[in-house]
Structure 1
Amino acid sequence: MKPDITTVPNLALDKYLGRWYEIARIDNRFERGISNAIAEYSLNPNGTIKVVNSGVDIKTGKVKSAVGKAKMTSVPGLLRVSFFWIFYSDYRVLAVDENYKWALVGGSSSKYLWILSRTPKLLEKEVALVLSEASRRGYDTGRLIYPWK
């Protein structure tokens, strides 16, 4: 079954910018072996968004980071993100807390899903709420890993 990748109807970029901690993710090739992942978003002078993803390599203990850029689209909650030259991928904000405390983010398929938080931990009831939303949308939440645990 294909997941529901409909984005949020409104995204206040000024509230979304800043630091996000990765609470959980579906493992993917570009983050494999990374724990304590953090994403930081800031506005560039040209209106694009600077994206800095960092995390600890579990084999070496060293911090690895990748710098990219994102641009808004005409669809609320849909950004296009690039870490390599001209190749862009969907970054879909599927759900966000009314106070921007947590976010559920996906890509263009069920291969990508992240639970993000403004703090390194979320209350169990908040995690349960986000997991429920992901399940309702058709994601297999059993595939999620929790790299901060």
Structure 2
Amino acid sequence: MFKKWGLVAIVSLVFVGLFGCTGMPDNVEPVKGFELPRYLGKWYEIARFDHSFEEGLSEVTATYSMRSDGGVKVINRGFSKEEKTWDEAEGKAYFVESETTGHLKVSFFGPFYASYVIMELDKEGYQYALITGPDKDYLWILARTPSISDDVRMGLLEKATAAGYDVSKLIWVEHDQTGS
């Protein structure tokens, strides 16, 4: 499990879990027409808002696969340059609404779930996505490759800004492809 995803993440998720964490931020709508089989596989974290559970990590990836109970297995992996180690966390996710709506709940710790809302998605090729959590303190840009074009980047930043996110807070994740 991610060392960085230790006690702080547990406490945060417990707090969020106790206070209705599967909601959505204002001005955010999950994508419709979502196709889970096309979303499965490996995604690179291109950018994120800073959180203690990912602090100092580069080469962060998320890999999604099916669970035997119909849910989604989530493996988050990242490299700590400071510690020179790979850290990994395994979670599970389930749809909140229908399976064609990009709104899931994800848990890395027991019965506590937080929203995973896909607010923008390349529906043609499933090559990039803009993700938020239960509130505007969470934002991720994911892609199937370690980098995205300037046009895609600008489009995602515009979408996030229009929804009320302060995109100046994004951390752009380094990927040097040494084992991720």
Please confirm whether the aligned pair reaches a TM-score higher than 0.5, indicating the same fold.
yes
Q: TM-score, structure 2 length as denominator?
A: 0.79
CA shift at 1:120, angstroms?
0.3
CA shift at 1:112, angstroms?
0.2
Pick from 159, 163, 172 the counterpart of residue 133 of structure 1. 159
Pick from 25, 32, 45 the counterpart of residue 55 of structure 2. 32
Opposite residue 170 of structure 2, the aligned amino acid is L
Pick from 81, 101, 106 the counterpart of residue 81 of structure 1. 106
- Residue pair 1:22, 1:117 contacting (<8 A) in 2 also: yes
Match of 1:91 in 2: 116
User: Tell me, what secondary structure is at the counterpart of 2:119?
Assistant: strand
The CA distance in 2 between the partners of 1:33 and 1:87, in whole Å, is 25
Structure 2: runs of 5+ lacking an equivalent: 1-24, 176-180
User: Tell me, what secondary structure is at the counterpart of 1:133?
Assistant: helix
Opposite residue 140 of structure 1, the aligned amino acid is D
Q: TM-score, structure 1 length as denominator?
A: 0.95
The CA distance in 1 between the partners of 2:105 and 2:50, in whole Å, is 20
As a proportion of its length, which structure holds more helix?
A: 2
As a proportion of its length, which structure holds more strand?
A: 1
User: Tell me, what secondary structure is at the counterpart of 1:14?
Assistant: helix
CA shift at 1:5, angstroms?
2.2
Q: Which has the larger radius of gyration?
A: 2
1:49-75, CA deviations, whole angstroms, 9 ceiling, x for partnerless residues? 100000001311211000010011215
1:88-122, CA deviations, whole angstroms, 9 ceiling, x for partnerless residues? 00000000012111000001111000000000010
Match of 1:10 in 2: 33
User: Tell me, what secondary structure is at the counterpart of 2:160?
Assistant: helix
The CA distance in 2 between the partners of 1:132 and 1:101, in whole Å, is 18
Match of 2:66 in 1: 43
CA shift at 1:10, angstroms?
2.1
Match of 1:55 in 2: 78
- Residue pair 1:42, 1:50 contacting (<8 A) in 2 also: yes
Q: How many aligned positions are there?
A: 148
The CA distance in 1 between the partners of 2:53 and 2:45, in whole Å, is 14
- Residue pair 1:36, 1:147 contacting (<8 A) in 2 also: yes
Match of 1:117 in 2: 143
Percent of residue pairs bearing the same amino acid type: 39
User: Could you say what the CA RMSD is over the residues aligned between the two structures, in angstroms?
Assistant: 1.2
